[in-house]
Amino acid sequence: MTEYTSQLTEHAQRKPNYLLIFGVLAAITLIEVTLATDKPLVLVLLSMAKIVLVAGYYMHLRFASGWFTAIFLTPLPFVALVMVALVVALAPGADGSASVNGVCSLF
Protein backbone atom coordinates (compact mmCIF):
# COMPACT_ATOMS: atom_id res chain seq x y z
CA MET A 1 0.00 0.00 0.00
CA THR A 2 2.85 2.34 0.87
CA GLU A 3 4.44 1.69 -2.50
CA TYR A 4 1.10 2.20 -4.21
CA THR A 5 0.59 5.49 -2.40
CA SER A 6 4.06 6.61 -3.43
CA GLN A 7 3.22 5.75 -7.04
CA LEU A 8 0.11 7.90 -6.76
CA THR A 9 2.13 10.75 -5.29
CA GLU A 10 4.62 10.48 -8.13
CA HIS A 11 1.75 10.45 -10.61
CA ALA A 12 0.16 13.46 -8.94
CA GLN A 13 3.43 15.39 -9.22
CA ARG A 14 3.53 14.74 -12.96
CA LYS A 15 -0.17 15.46 -13.39
CA PRO A 16 -0.90 17.76 -16.33
CA ASN A 17 -3.15 20.80 -16.14
CA TYR A 18 -6.43 19.10 -17.13
CA LEU A 19 -8.36 22.37 -17.28
CA LEU A 20 -5.84 23.89 -19.70
CA ILE A 21 -6.09 20.81 -21.93
CA PHE A 22 -9.88 21.07 -21.86
CA GLY A 23 -9.57 24.71 -22.90
CA VAL A 24 -7.35 23.78 -25.84
CA LEU A 25 -9.76 20.99 -26.88
CA ALA A 26 -12.70 23.40 -26.74
CA ALA A 27 -10.80 26.04 -28.72
CA ILE A 28 -9.87 23.52 -31.43
CA THR A 29 -13.51 22.41 -31.67
CA LEU A 30 -14.63 26.04 -32.06
CA ILE A 31 -12.06 26.53 -34.84
CA GLU A 32 -13.31 23.36 -36.52
CA VAL A 33 -16.94 24.42 -36.64
CA THR A 34 -16.40 28.09 -37.46
CA LEU A 35 -13.26 28.55 -39.53
CA ALA A 36 -12.29 25.20 -41.00
CA THR A 37 -15.51 23.66 -42.32
CA ASP A 38 -14.41 23.97 -45.96
CA LYS A 39 -10.81 22.81 -45.38
CA PRO A 40 -10.78 19.00 -45.13
CA LEU A 41 -7.06 18.66 -44.53
CA VAL A 42 -7.15 21.23 -41.72
CA LEU A 43 -10.14 19.44 -40.16
CA VAL A 44 -8.30 16.11 -40.18
CA LEU A 45 -5.18 17.68 -38.65
CA LEU A 46 -7.23 19.43 -35.94
CA SER A 47 -9.01 16.16 -35.09
CA MET A 48 -5.68 14.39 -34.84
CA ALA A 49 -4.44 17.10 -32.48
CA LYS A 50 -7.50 16.57 -30.26
CA ILE A 51 -6.96 12.80 -30.24
CA VAL A 52 -3.30 13.23 -29.27
CA LEU A 53 -4.30 15.56 -26.41
CA VAL A 54 -6.99 13.23 -25.05
CA ALA A 55 -4.89 10.07 -25.38
CA GLY A 56 -1.68 11.70 -24.21
CA TYR A 57 -2.95 13.62 -21.19
CA TYR A 58 -6.43 12.37 -20.19
CA MET A 59 -5.55 8.71 -20.84
CA HIS A 60 -2.03 9.39 -19.52
CA LEU A 61 -0.25 7.73 -22.45
CA ARG A 62 2.33 10.51 -22.20
CA PHE A 63 3.35 9.25 -18.76
CA ALA A 64 2.50 5.52 -19.00
CA SER A 65 4.48 2.54 -20.21
CA GLY A 66 5.46 2.60 -23.89
CA TRP A 67 3.72 -0.77 -24.21
CA PHE A 68 0.35 0.91 -23.93
CA THR A 69 1.17 3.37 -26.72
CA ALA A 70 2.42 0.50 -28.89
CA ILE A 71 -0.77 -1.50 -28.27
CA PHE A 72 -2.93 1.53 -29.03
CA LEU A 73 -1.10 2.26 -32.29
CA THR A 74 -0.82 -1.35 -33.50
CA PRO A 75 -4.27 -1.45 -35.19
CA LEU A 76 -3.64 1.68 -37.27
CA PRO A 77 -2.05 -0.04 -40.33
CA PHE A 78 -4.96 -2.51 -40.34
CA VAL A 79 -7.39 0.39 -40.00
CA ALA A 80 -5.85 1.95 -43.12
CA LEU A 81 -6.29 -1.34 -45.02
CA VAL A 82 -9.90 -1.74 -43.90
CA MET A 83 -10.70 1.87 -44.80
CA VAL A 84 -9.23 1.61 -48.28
CA ALA A 85 -10.80 -1.78 -48.96
CA LEU A 86 -14.30 -0.91 -47.77
CA VAL A 87 -14.47 2.60 -49.18
CA VAL A 88 -13.32 1.34 -52.60
CA ALA A 89 -15.66 -1.66 -52.40
CA LEU A 90 -18.72 0.40 -51.50
CA ALA A 91 -18.02 3.36 -53.77
CA PRO A 92 -20.48 3.63 -56.66
CA GLY A 93 -19.29 2.16 -59.95
CA ALA A 94 -20.03 3.61 -63.38
CA ASP A 95 -23.44 1.92 -63.38
CA GLY A 96 -24.19 3.03 -59.82
CA SER A 97 -23.60 -0.41 -58.29
CA ALA A 98 -21.00 -1.19 -55.65
CA SER A 99 -17.57 -1.87 -57.14
CA VAL A 100 -16.78 -4.95 -55.04
CA ASN A 101 -14.99 -6.58 -57.94
CA GLY A 102 -12.77 -3.52 -58.15
CA VAL A 103 -11.48 -3.97 -54.63
CA CYS A 104 -10.97 -7.71 -55.17
CA SER A 105 -8.61 -6.90 -58.01
CA LEU A 106 -6.49 -4.86 -55.57
CA PHE A 107 -5.46 -8.05 -53.79
Partner 1 sequence: MSSHPDVQTHAHDEIHLPPPSWGPIVIALGVTVLAFGFVLPLLLPVGAIVLLVGIWKTSNFSVIDEIRTSMGVHSRMLGMWVFLASEIMFFAGLIATFLGYKQRAGEVAYLLNVPLMTIGTFLLLTSSFSAVSALSALQQNKLKAFRNWLIATMILGGLFLGVELLEWGELIGHGITTGTLFGSAFFTLTGFHGLHVLIGIVWMVFLLARTLRGRMTPASATGVEIFGLYWHFVDIVWIVLFTIVYLL
Q: Which residues bind partner 1 (CB under 8 A)?
A: 1, 3-5, 7-8, 11-12, 15, 18-19, 21-22, 25-26, 29, 32-33, 36-37, 40, 43-44, 46-47, 50-51, 54-55, 58-60, 64-65, 67-68, 71-72, 74-76, 78-79, 82-83, 85-92, 96, 98
User: Degrees (nearest 5) of the Cα angle 67, 70, 76?
Assistant: 160
Q: How far apart are CA 87 and CA 7, in angstroms?
A: 46
Q: How far apart are CA 25 and CA 31, in angstroms?
A: 10
